């Protein structure tokens, strides 16, 4: 069966490659999914808040929503699917969080200043670097100064926000020459507790973050480039008001060495080979909380070693990418609980019992031009994954629950996706189908007594889980005219063996006052539908009015609601752009959440709307271009929380901010 | 098919050959046979010296104690390899004396000089009250040596032994033997159950069932799944005990007789947080 699929996949790809007739080649297809942040890392003109966090930035893009557990490190959700079903990479590098409670999503280990692009792919396919993703993927492209004649550049950024006494300071230095470049940045953020609408201080919402990055590039012959990246990111004293614990420190070290070759051969125009290593150490902290029933230490670490090679090329009507990638991850988390009686021995367990994952895969993609306006894009990925429990202690523990469990498990994972794209002067249309598999995450397979404060259950992994699979259909249609833009985008996922935790009454919880224990299992099926639309109208020369709306549905095999599915939500923004002035007014809100499931810890989130305004000015100074942006968020100080706010934690109330940027060109 | 069979036969012979050879080659000295054990006591009576060992600690404790013996003939300088040994424990209290449950002494398999047996001490010794063990080494009808020695028995920090009066009015003695060094995961749990006939006579109870329910009182009475009750087999009660983490565990017990009538103990529920009889494990 597996062989057959393999042959069909490879055969398809081969057909695509050999069936070449026309002489033209496609350089690139500019898909809406690519979002550009700007080539200095921060685009001062186009963002209402240039020094926003990565989280705020993602949220503004509309395709990503966030699960908030505090004021920091929100978990990105693509197509209403969280990190188990989506993939987040940094410049193609796999990196996995070190916290069993998702307090440190991968996006929390970078800064906005590190990035040049966020490549959001929806659903299956489209991203060579994603693994185990069926909902979508996010590849954060790092900002690299590049090989230019531009010499030295400097930029400095400062920001202040009244709510939470939030201070932001950062700067960078870059040097570019045709044979060498370096750009290094430092960025620091610190916030006290923020205040929700109605002057309610949210305790334990403080945080502090320092980020250092350096990119080096060396061109040692015309076509050969070697590049290196190092990012060190440390967040400390991070409060998680929605959880029972905070974080003492979350440290990430991300390194890579990259070899690029251009004009490789007739068949491939460029190749890139990267080796990388990243390590994350995460320490939780309950010592600041007053009413701790039992003190505990919960450190976690995650180490990933990986490499990939990407080959890109084009032939006549084809535009193809071939990628080989392999990574090895170690995820280990432990919990030590200290009984009230100091003479009692501490209670120790592994919550991630030294979970090891080795994944090796091949990705193939071809964009084939059927006619000047019609394109066919086909991609497939085949991967082998071996995952399991390295720790004997951990294995012994899990074998209490699963006596016939083996230490390691091999999984064959694959996906295939095809799209038909139509581009004309004013109309863009895309229709696609895909099918893919994902392996269960370390928590879903091997997690041990992971407490979820959302539904108040302890979770135990299930090593016998089947791969989850998904059929996907997507459709998008866009009209682009001079002053008018409209698009509608819809995607539907029908998932088999949908993985979710279900209560097991036979098991005894461990967390004091927990409702019980849930064990991950495969539901027969589930389905998710996402629709979003956007209208943009320019008028009176300087004004643009943009309205976005989205709605989603998620259902399990008994027509019950899936957890954390967004209700109808909308954003409406009016911008004014003249010369050096850029101003914006916005309204954002959501309807009442009609579909929710108490079983998963949800309650009905009421409707809300908030409004904001900002104004920016770029000073007319030639060499250094300072720009200033001031704004206000949640003008009317509304007290609100969204469907994805953990335990209904309230969001920020009124907030005035000021951002100042100076950059030399 | 045939070749596979021959191959198997060959393998069996080969294994046999190897194992025989190994045994002959690595002849253990008397010191090797007690390597890693802790000596409790050594005393001499006439021409013979008794050496007493335990595999875990060097002291006797209340509850189950597995004791190893070596006997040396000082006249020949050799350890006795075919001793017919017996023993009797006796507690000398200020007002009375009594014995405790104990086993016979057997030769340890695959050793030349080592013997073993166990005591279930039902109380600790103190300044005024002491345990005395009398040893007999006989050959046929001749007593070669008879020796007595006092031993110190300490109270265990955690409860590994329980005596109780059952619903049938009999007095029972229940002692935890294993796990000696518990681990997180699945452990074999073994225990001995005795019944008192009179102050000097204790007999093993057969074919009862000992239900276990391990709990962590510090963790909201958390328990583990898939434990199996202790059932009787050849003198000992055996079951499986699952421990999900390190720390303090209370192994709640219910003793049932051969017709499943409750002799002692209560089932743990939300209201009844512990049974009246339990063992304690902390690691």
Strand residues in A21-94 grouped as ranges (E)? 34-36, 64-67, 75-78, 86-90, 93-94
Closest to A241 measured CA to CA, from A73, A455, A420, A424: A73
CA gap B12, B103 in Å, rounded? 37
Percentage of chain A modeled with pLDDT above 70: 93
Residue A397 DSSP SS3: helix
Q: For residues B149 and B34, state if they share a domain.
A: yes
Residue A627 DSSP SS3: strand
CB-CB contact of B46 with B145 (8 Å): yes
Q: Which of A347, A404, A450 to mutate to test the interface with B (most CBs of B within 10 A)?
A: A347
* Chain B hits for A348, Cβ within 8 Å: 184, 245-247
pLDDT: is A5 or B266 the higher one?
A: B266
The model's pLDDT over A177-217, given as tens digits with 9 standing for 90+, comes to 999 999 999 999 999 999 999 999 999 999 999 999 999 99
Closest to B194 measured CA to CA, from B210, B166, B177, B171: B171
* Chain B hits for A512, Cβ within 8 Å: 219-220
pLDDT, residue A17, reads: 36
The model's pLDDT over A601-632, given as tens digits with 9 standing for 90+, comes to 899 999 999 999 999 888 877 777 788 889 99
The model's pLDDT over B63-107, given as tens digits with 9 standing for 90+, comes to 999 999 999 999 998 999 888 899 999 999 988 999 999 999 999
Average pLDDT, chain A: 89
Question: β-strands A299-315, A347-371: how paired?
Answer: unpaired
Please say if the pLDDT value at position A303 is more than 80.
yes
CA gap A537, A486 in Å, rounded? 9
pLDDT, residue A38, reads: 36
Q: Which of B222, B226, B227, B243 to mutate to test the interface with A (most CBs of A within 10 A)?
A: B222
Residue B129 DSSP SS3: coil
Is B20 a member of any domain? no
Is B3 a member of any domain? no
CA gap A393, B246 in Å, rounded? 11
What is the pLDDT averaged over residues A460-482? 95
Cα dihedral value B10, B16, B18, B23, nearest 10: 180
Closest to A308 measured CA to CA, from A130, A86, A88, A97: A130
pLDDT: is A224 or A20 the higher one?
A: A224
What is the pLDDT averaged over residues B186-193? 97
Q: Given an 8 Å threshold on Cβ–Cβ distance, is B219 in contact with A347? A: yes
How far does A106 lie from chain B, in Å, by closest CA?
Answer: 30
CB-CB contact of A345 with A370 (8 Å): no
Please say if the pLDDT value at position A27 is more than 90.
no
Indicate the pTM of the whole model. Answer: 0.88
How far does A48 lie from chain B, in Å, by closest CA?
Answer: 49
Is there a cis peptide before residue A95, judged by omega within 30 degrees of 0? no
Q: For residues B105 and B169, state if they share a domain.
A: no
Percentage of chain B modeled with pLDDT above 70: 91
What is the pLDDT averaged over residues A353-366? 96
Residue A198 CB neighbour total at 10 angstroms: 12
pLDDT, residue B8, reads: 55
Q: For residues B144 and B173, state if they share a domain.
A: no
CB-CB contact of B210 with B237 (8 Å): yes
pLDDT, residue B32, reads: 87
Which of B113, B137, B154 is the last residue before a domain boundary? B154
Q: Which of A398, A400, A504 to mutate to test the interface with B (most CBs of B within 10 A)?
A: A400
How far does A507 lie from chain B, in Å, by closest CA?
Answer: 6
- The confidence band for B7, taking pLDDT boundaries of 50, 70 and 90, is low
**Domain extent for B55:** 30-154
Q: What is the DSSP letter of A83?
A: T
CA gap A101, A559 in Å, rounded? 28
Please say if the pLDDT value at position B124 is more than 90.
yes
Residue B25 CB neighbour total at 10 angstroms: 7
Lowest mean pLDDT among A35-44, A90-99, A141-150: A35-44
Number of A/B CB contacts below 8 angstroms equals 83
The model's pLDDT over B219-276, given as tens digits with 9 standing for 90+, comes to 989 999 999 999 999 999 999 999 999 999 999 999 999 999 999 999 999 899 999 9
The model's pLDDT over A472-512, given as tens digits with 9 standing for 90+, comes to 999 999 999 989 999 999 999 999 999 999 999 999 999 88
CATH code for position B44: 2.60.40.10
* Chain B hits for A349, Cβ within 8 Å: 184, 244-246
- The confidence band for A237, taking pLDDT boundaries of 50, 70 and 90, is very high
Q: Which of A347, A397, A403 sits opposite B247 (nearest CB)?
A: A347
Please say if the pLDDT value at position B9 is more than 70.
no
Please say if the pLDDT value at position A13 is more than 60.
no
* Chain B hits for A399, Cβ within 8 Å: 185-186
SS (H, E, C) A233-294: EEEEEECCCCCCCEEEEEEEEEEEEEEEEECCCCCCCEEEEEEEEEEEEEEEECCCCCCCCC
How far does A297 lie from chain B, in Å, by closest CA?
Answer: 14
Q: Around A458, how many Cα atoms within 13 Å sit in the side-chain half-sphere?
A: 20
Q: Which of A344, A349, A514 sits opposite B245 (nearest CB)?
A: A349
CB-CB contact of B51 with B67 (8 Å): no
Please say if the pLDDT value at position B44 is more than 60.
yes
CATH code reported for the domain at A2-181+189-322+342-664: 2.40.170.20
Strand residues in A340-467 grouped as ranges (E)? 347-371, 374-389, 408-423, 427-438, 450-452, 457-460
Radius of gyration of the CA atoms of chain B, in A: 22
Q: Given an 8 Å threshold on Cβ–Cβ distance, is A347 in contact with B183? A: no
A17: part of which helix (H) or strand (E)? helix A2-18
Q: Is the dihedral of CA A631, A637, A641, A646 positive or negative?
A: positive
* Chain B hits for A447, Cβ within 8 Å: none
Which of B108, B130, B154 is the last residue before a domain boundary? B154
Please say if the pLDDT value at position B21 is more than 90.
no
CB-CB contact of B195 with B208 (8 Å): no
pLDDT, residue B3, reads: 46
The model's pLDDT over A415-444, given as tens digits with 9 standing for 90+, comes to 999 999 999 999 999 999 999 999 999 999
What are the sequence ranges of the domains in chain A?
A: 2-181+189-322+342-664
Q: Which residue of A has its CA nearest to B228?
A: A400
The model's pLDDT over A103-128, given as tens digits with 9 standing for 90+, comes to 999 999 999 989 988 889 889 988 99
Q: For residues B210 and B232, state if they share a domain.
A: yes
Q: For residues B210 and B251, state if they share a domain.
A: yes
In DSSP terms, B181 is beta-bridged to: none
Residue A210 CB neighbour total at 10 angstroms: 17
Q: Which of B183, B223, B246 sits opposite A508 (nearest CB)?
A: B223
Is B94 a member of any domain? yes
Q: Which residue of A has its CA nearest to B184?
A: A397
* Chain B hits for A511, Cβ within 8 Å: 220
B17: part of which helix (H) or strand (E)? helix B2-25
Percentage of chain A modeled with pLDDT above 90: 78
Is B6 a member of any domain? no
CB-CB contact of B101 with B120 (8 Å): yes
The model's pLDDT over A150-188, given as tens digits with 9 standing for 90+, comes to 899 998 999 999 999 999 999 999 999 999 999 999 999
Q: Which of B221, B226, B283 sits opposite A345 (nearest CB)?
A: B283
pLDDT, residue A291, reads: 84
pLDDT, residue A265, reads: 83
Q: Phi and psi for A18 in degrees, rounded to 5? A: -85, -25
What is the pLDDT averaged over residues B103-117? 93
CA gap A398, A405 in Å, rounded? 8
* Chain B hits for A346, Cβ within 8 Å: 246-247
Q: Which of A346, A397, A449 sits opposite B247 (nearest CB)?
A: A346
Please say if the pLDDT value at position A10 is more than 60.
no
CA gap A288, A282 in Å, rounded? 17
What is the pLDDT averaged over residues A249-257? 97
Which of B108, B137, B154 is the last residue before a domain boundary? B154
pLDDT, residue A542, reads: 93
pLDDT, residue B28, reads: 79
CB-CB contact of B277 with B255 (8 Å): yes
By CB atoms closer than 10 A (0-12, 13-18, 19+), residue A513 is exposed
What is the total count of domains within chain B? 2
Question: β-strands A516-539, A457-460: how paired?
Answer: parallel
Q: For residues B150 and B187, state if they share a domain.
A: no
- The confidence band for B56, taking pLDDT boundaries of 50, 70 and 90, is confident
Cα dihedral value A360, A414, A100, A466, nearest 10: -120
CA gap B77, B79 in Å, rounded? 7
Our CA angle for A440, A441, A447, nearest 5°, is 110
Is B268 a member of any domain? yes
Q: Around A466, how many Cα atoms within 13 Å sit in the side-chain half-sphere?
A: 11
């Amino acid at each position: 069966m597996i062989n057959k699929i393999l042959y069909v996949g490879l055969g398809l790809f081969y057909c695509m490659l050999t069936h070449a007739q026309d002489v033209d080649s496609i350089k690139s297809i500019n898909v809406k999914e690519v979002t550009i942040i700007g080539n200095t890392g921060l685009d001062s003109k186009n963002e209402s808040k240039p020094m926003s966090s990565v989280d705020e930035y993602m949220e503004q893009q509309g395709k990503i929503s966030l699960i908030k557990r505090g004021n920091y490190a929100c978990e990105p959700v693509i197509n209403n699917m969280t990190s188990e079903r989506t993939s987040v990479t940094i410049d193609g590098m796999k990196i996995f969080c070190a916290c069993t409670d998702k307090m440190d999503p991968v996006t929390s280990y970078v800064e906005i200043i590190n990035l040049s692009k966020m490549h959001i792919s929806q659903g299956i396919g489209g991203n060579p670097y994603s693994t185990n993703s069926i909902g979508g993927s996010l590849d954060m492209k790092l900002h690299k100064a590049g090989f230019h004649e531009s010499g030295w550049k400097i930029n400095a950024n400062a920001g202040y926000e009244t709510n939470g006494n939030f201070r932001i300071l950062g700067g960078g230095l870059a040097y570019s020459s045709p044979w060498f470049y370096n750009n290094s940045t430092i960025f620091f953020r610190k916030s006290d507790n923020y205040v929700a609408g109605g002057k309610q201080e949210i305790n334990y919402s403080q945080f502090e973050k320092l980020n250092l990055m350096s990119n080096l590039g060396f061109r040692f012959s015309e076509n050969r480039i070697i590049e290196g990246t190092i990012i060190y990111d440390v967040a400390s004293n991070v409060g998680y008001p929605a959880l029972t614990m905070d974080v003492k420190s979350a440290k990430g070290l991300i390194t890579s060495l990259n070899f690029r070759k251009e004009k490789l051969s007739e068949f491939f125009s460029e190749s890139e080979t990267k080796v990388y290593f990243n390590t994350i150490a995460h320490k939780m902290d309950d010592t600041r909380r007053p009413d701790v029933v039992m003190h505990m230490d919960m450190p976690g670490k995650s180490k990933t070693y990986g490499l990939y090679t990407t080959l890109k090329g084009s032939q006549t009507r084809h535009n193809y990418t071939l990628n080989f990638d392999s990574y090895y991850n170690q995820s280990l988390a432990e919990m030590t609980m200290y009984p009230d009686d100091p003479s009692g021995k501490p209670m120790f367990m592994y919550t991630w019992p030294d979970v090891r994952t080795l994944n090796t895969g091949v990705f193939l993609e071809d964009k084939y031009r059927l006619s000047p306006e019609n394109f066919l894009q086909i991609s497939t990925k085949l991967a082998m994954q071996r995952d399991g429990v390295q720790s004997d202690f951990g294995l012994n523990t899990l074998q209490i629950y699963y006596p016939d469990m083996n230490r390691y498990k091999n999984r064959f994972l694959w996906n295939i996706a095809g799209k038909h794209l139509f581009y004309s002067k004013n109309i863009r249309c895309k229709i696609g189908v895909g099918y893919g598999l994902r392996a269960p995450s370390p928590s879903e397979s091997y997690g041990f007594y992971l407490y979820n404060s959302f539904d108040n259950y302890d979770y135990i992994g299930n090593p016998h889980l089947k791969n989850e699979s998904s059929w996907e259909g997507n459709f998008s249609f866009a009209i682009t005219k001079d002053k008018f833009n409209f698009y509608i985008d819809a995607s539907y996922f029908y998932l088999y063996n949908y993985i979710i935790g279900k209560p097991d009454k036979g098991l005894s919880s461990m967390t004091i006052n927990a409702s019980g224990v849930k064990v991950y299992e495969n539901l027969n099926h589930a389905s998710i539908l996402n629709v979003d639309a956007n209208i943009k109208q320019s008028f009176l020369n300087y004004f643009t009015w943009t309205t976005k709306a989205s709605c989603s549905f998620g259902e399990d095999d008994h027509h019950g609601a899936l957890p954390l599915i967004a209700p109808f939500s909308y954003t409406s923004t009016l911008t004014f752009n003249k010369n050096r002035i850029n101003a914006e007014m916005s309204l954002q809100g959501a309807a009442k959440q009609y579909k929710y499931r108490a079983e998963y810890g949800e309650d009905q989130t009421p409707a809300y709307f908030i409004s904001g305004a900002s104004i920016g000015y770029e000073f007319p100074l030639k060499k250094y271009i300072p720009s200033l942006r001031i704004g206000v968020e949640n003008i009317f100080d509304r007290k609100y929380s969204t469907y994805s706010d953990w335990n209904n934690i309230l969001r920020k109330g009124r907030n005035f901010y000021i951002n100042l940027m100076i950059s030399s060109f | 098919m045939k070749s596979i069979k021959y191959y198997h036969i060959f393998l069996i012979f080969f294994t046999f050959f190897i194992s025989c050879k190994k045994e002959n080659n690595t002849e253990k000295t008397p010191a090797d046979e007690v390597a890693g054990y802790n000596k409790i006591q050594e005393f001499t009576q006439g021409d013979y010296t008794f050496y007493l060992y335990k595999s875990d600690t060097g002291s006797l404790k209340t509850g189950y104690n597995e004791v190893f013996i070596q006997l040396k003939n000082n006249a020949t300088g050799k350890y006795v390899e075919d001793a017919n040994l017996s023993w009797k424990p006796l507690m000398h209290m200020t007002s009375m004396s009594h014995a405790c449950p104990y086993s016979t002494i057997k030769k340890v398999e695959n050793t030349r000089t080592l013997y073993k047996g166990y005591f279930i001490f039902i109380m600790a010794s103190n300044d005024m009250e002491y345990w005395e063990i009398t040893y007999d080494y006989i050959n046929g009808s001749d007593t070669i040596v008879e020796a007595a020695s006092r031993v110190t028995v300490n109270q265990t920090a955690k409860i590994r032994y329980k005596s109780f009066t059952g619903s049938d009015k009999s007095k029972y003695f229940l002692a935890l033997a294993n796990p000696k060094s518990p681990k997180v995961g699945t452990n074999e749990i073994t225990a001995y159950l005795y019944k008192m006939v009179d102050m000097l006579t204790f007999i093993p109870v057969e074919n009862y069932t000992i239900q276990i329910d391990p709990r962590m009182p510090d963790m909201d009475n958390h328990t583990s799944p898939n434990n199996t009750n202790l059932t009787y087999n050849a003198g000992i009660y055996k079951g499986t005990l699952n421990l999900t983490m390190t720390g303090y565990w209370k192994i709640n017990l219910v003793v049932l007789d051969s017709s499943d009538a409750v002799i002692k103990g209560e089932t743990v529920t939300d209201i009844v947080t512990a049974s009246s009889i339990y063992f304690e494990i902390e690691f």
